A = this chain, B = another copy of it.
């Protein structure tokens, strides 16, 4: 029996904040949206620009989602490979995102989504020379 991975779903409390983070700051694209008037929820599918075959599904309940924990550490994480980890971290930090685990090794960083979903960023091709301010920046919080 063949099988294909399609998406990871995460629940979000604030859709605008989530789209700002995933689309505007990280660079994912919205590829599909379902608005369910009867169920009062939206499903928004996001994907990397050249990889629409796998996606991140955001579930947004219009009337809130009180069951969501404030800390998503137990979620594990989502991982993305990026062209320039130092430049992306600078872009994120310039826009108010805390770099919980700076890419001190030129290879790996962790940030959190607005719902505290842990996001791992990995330098494409492996470690590059570490650059400031990341090389000497301590980690903050957990991820």
| Docked CA distance A67–B72 (Å) | 11
Task: Return chain B residues, CB-CB under 8 Å to A73.
Answer: 67
> Is A78 engaged at the interface, CB distance under 8 Å to the other chain?
yes
> Is A128 engaged at the interface, CB distance under 8 Å to the other chain?
no
Which of B3, B77, B80, B87 has a CB less than 8 Å from the CB of A3?
B80
Task: Return chain B residues, CB-CB under 8 Å to A2.
Answer: 48-50, 82-83, 124
| Docked CA distance A49–B5 (Å) | 10
Task: Return chain B residues, CB-CB under 8 Å to A54.
Answer: 5, 54
Which of B3, B6, B28, B56 has a CB less than 8 Å from the CB of A26?
B3
Which 3 A-B pairs give the minimum distances between C-beta atoms? A9-B76, A6-B79, A10-B76
Give A residues with C-beta under 8 Å from B. Answer: 1-11, 26-28, 47-51, 54, 56-57, 59, 67-69, 72-84, 87-88, 120, 122, 124
